[in-house]
Amino acid sequence: MASRVAARRIRWGVLCLPLAGLVSLGSFVVSSETTLPSEDLRGFAEQATSARFQSSLMIGHLQTTLTLVGCFALYAYLSSRRAERWALAGLVLFCVQVFSAGIETGTILPSIPAAQAYLEGQRDALDGYLLLDDFTALPPLLVLWALVTGFLFSILSNLFFGIAIWRSGTLPQGAAVLWVGAAVLGVVSLNPSTYLGAGIHALIVALDLGGSGWIAWSIWQRPAAGTPVS
């Protein structure tokens, strides 16, 4: 009985992965080239106060939440397989990445009222964000930590999950390739100075949906596979 309940929870949890991909379609609609404060302060202020920018923040939070739930479910599925250690490493690194992203969001949200104040005539309202945009003004260890958690951990966590999917023996290996491909392109797109364009963004969404959807479909086809028996 306990194993059947666990299998149902895993199946529903893994559905959060393709749901996160569907949510990312919203970010595809609202995405645009990012304006940095050091490049165009007024353009940054107008961007921060726009409905598109604020919608992208909400979509990003929802996508991250769904992905986190889906990754926990995927690890639960893989926990009794030979690739469990790879899945655990991927899950731990992804959790660290999500925590670090939460800290970054804490610095982004105050930019909205500050940008509004700048547009209303308070010219020093965004001075703090000019300093944050200048990496040379930040402590080297802080910059290194941001690069490690924002880029390296993102690549490694998805690579480890990809290896776990590949070696699981029950999940399609092609899904692992799509998973890692979407992750690598997604990390490149995190750099605000390299807007990849709508075409590449659409490719990322397609790879993400293809890989996560394939994984979820495979688990729903074998609901008891990989579920520990009590």
What pLDDT was estimated at residue 134?
A: 58
CB 225: neighbour CB atoms within 10 A?
Answer: 17
pLDDT in tens, the chain (230 residues): 557 788 888 999 999 999 998 887 776 666 666 777 767 778 878 888 888 888 888 888 888 899 999 999 999 999 988 889 999 999 999 998 888 776 666 667 777 888 888 888 887 777 766 666 655 556 777 667 777 777 788 888 999 999 999 999 889 999 999 998 888 877 666 554 455 556 677 788 888 889 999 999 999 987 554 444 33
What pLDDT was estimated at residue 227?
A: 44
What pLDDT was estimated at residue 105?
A: 67
Please report, as a single letter, which amino acid is at residue 124: D
> Residue 164 is encoded by which pair of tokens?
């776990």
What pLDDT was estimated at residue 219?
A: 92
CA distance 36 to 39: 5
Burial level of 41, CB count in 10 A (0-12/13-18/19+)?
buried
> Residue 198 is encoded by which pair of tokens?
């709508």
Q: Are 179 and 211 in contact (CB under 8 A)?
A: yes
> Residue 5 is encoded by which pair of tokens?
């309940």
What pLDDT was estimated at residue 189?
A: 62
DSSP state of 136: G
Residues 6+ apart with CB under 8 A from 190: 150, 151, 154
CA distance 211 to 17: 9
DSSP state of 120: T
What pLDDT was estimated at residue 173?
A: 93
What pLDDT was estimated at residue 32?
A: 60
The three-state (H, E, C) secondary structure of 162-210, written as one string: HHHHHHCCCCCHHHHHHHHHHHHHHHHHCCCCCCCCHHHHHHHHHHHHH
